[in-house]
């Protein structure tokens, strides 16, 4: 049996590679006959009677959900509104609500709908047209996805009572640094936060120390705050690619923390390799303006027990080649199986 910490790292690695959630969806032909407790617009397989599949049916409204349904799939429809009363039978039992890829706006979400769901664990609301976050009162909420909407802010306090929340995905919105100030302080168990493809100029402030994955690719970030990562002692994966980082915006040693396993700073404007910790395993620096290979960025000194654990290093699309590596690089980077220059 694998130790618990090894299992957790494997799980986090899988999360880090995935951007979209698998709903365990099956085509209609595989669902089998529906049970009697089901809305006529949907399917409720006898083999899985607590799930109601209403996805991909050109629905323009959320159908009334019958008693006993815990998992509701409404993705890939033409839904524009959520009328009061549709969740009245499942306010304290519905666990999953999937509303991805519809046409829902905040104005068409009536009171007495999502604001009554007290047992929800997963809310997926991506690819809609909401401008304000829609948060259920459930303290059991574990995963929140609102990607590809029109959110410009995520006010502080919305997640204060979400003690079980572990994952928040808000990529492809219009969020600004000011618009998310202290928004993620509340959930003390938060592990993963994705803010890629927004309008941030800084990494988010006030994130909980539990965070292990932070993605902020495709923003307008031009500097990292000194000591920022010191406040995140368990951070494993940090991605800040496709931003506006320059050497002047990278304080000395800011990435030299023992927890990091993966650091992505590709597609920025760096001219030198930032100092990293010997425990880092993957470093992505491609498509910058790096013009020198400083071994001290990886190893302050080298010995039998002092060397970099780096396995993958990308330096392609920069101004350095393998001939710029000093002879002692082989000892410092002894575990690197892939160093890419071109």
pLDDT in tens, 280-328: 999 999 999 999 999 999 998 877 888 999 999 999 999 999 999 999 9
Q: How far is CA 166 from the centre of its chain?
A: 10
Residue bearing the bigger pLDDT, 8 or 259:
259
pLDDT in tens, 76-105: 999 999 999 999 999 999 999 999 999 999
pLDDT at 30 over 80: no
CA distance 41 to 57: 8
pLDDT at 3 over 60: no
In this prediction, residue 10 carries a pLDDT of 45
**Three-class HEC string of 320-336:** CCHHHCCCCHHHHCCCC
pLDDT at 121 over 90: yes
| Fold type of domain 39-136 | 3.80.10
Burial class (CB in 10 A: 0-12, 13-18, 19+), 48: middle
pLDDT at 255 over 90: yes
Percent of the chain topping pLDDT 70: 90
Tell me which residue of 217, 221, 213 sits closest to 171, measured CA to CA: 217
Phi and psi, residue 124, nearest 5°: -115, 115
| Residue owning tokens 């493809």 | 197
pLDDT in tens, 175-187: 999 999 999 999 9
pLDDT at 5 over 60: no
Side-chain half-sphere CA neighbours of 23 within 13 A: 23
pLDDT at 240 over 60: yes
CA distance 13 to 7: 10
Burial class (CB in 10 A: 0-12, 13-18, 19+), 17: exposed
pLDDT in tens, 34-69: 777 899 999 999 999 999 999 999 999 999 999 999
| Residue owning tokens 């006959």 | 33
pLDDT at 331 over 60: yes
Band the pLDDT of 32: cuts 50, 70, 90: low
Query: What's the average model confidence in pLDDT over 132-152?
Result: 98
In this prediction, residue 35 carries a pLDDT of 72
């Amino acid at each position: 049996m694998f130790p618990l910490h090894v299992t957790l790292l494997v799980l986090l690695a899988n999360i880090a590679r995935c951007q979209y959630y698998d709903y365990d969806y099956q085509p209609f032909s595989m669902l089998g006959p529906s049970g009697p407790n089901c809305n006529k617009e949907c399917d409720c397989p006898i083999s899985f009677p607590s799930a109601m599949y209403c996805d991909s049916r050109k629905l323009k409204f959320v159908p009334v959900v019958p008693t006993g349904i815990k998992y509701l799939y409404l993705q890939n429809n033409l839904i524009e509104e959520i009328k009061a009363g549709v969740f009245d039978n499942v306010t304290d039992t519905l666990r999953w609500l999937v509303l991805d890829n519809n046409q829902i706006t905040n104005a068409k979400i009536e009171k007495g709908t999502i604001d009554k769901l007290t047992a929800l664990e997963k809310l997926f609301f991506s690819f809609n047209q909401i401008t304000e976050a829609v948060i259920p009162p459930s303290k059991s909420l574990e995963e929140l996805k609102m990607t590809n909407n029109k959110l410009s802010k995520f006010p502080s306090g919305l997640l204060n009572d979400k003690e079980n929340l572990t994952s928040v995905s808000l990529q492809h919105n219009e969020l600004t640094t000011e618009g998310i100030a202290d928004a993620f302080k509340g959930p003390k168990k938060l592990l993963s936060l994705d803010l890629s493809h927004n309008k941030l100029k800084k990494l988010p402030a006030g994130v909980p120390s539990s965070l292990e994955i932070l993605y902020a690719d495709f923003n307008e970030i031009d500097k990292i705050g000194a000591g920022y990562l010191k406040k995140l002692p368990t951070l494993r994966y940090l991605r800040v690619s496709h931003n506006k980082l320059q050497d002047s915006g990278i304080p000395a040693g800011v990435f030299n923390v023992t927890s990091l396993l993966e650091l992505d700073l590709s597609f920025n404007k760096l001219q030198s390799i930032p100092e990293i910790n010997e425990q880092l395993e993957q470093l992505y620096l491609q498509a910058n303006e790096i013009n020198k290979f400083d071994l001290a960025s990886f190893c302050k000194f080298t010995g039998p027990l002092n060397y970099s654990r780096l396995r993958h290093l990308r330096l392609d699309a920069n101004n350095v080649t393998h001939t710029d590596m000093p002879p002692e690089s082989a000892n410092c980077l002894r575990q690197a199986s892939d160093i890419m220059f071109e």
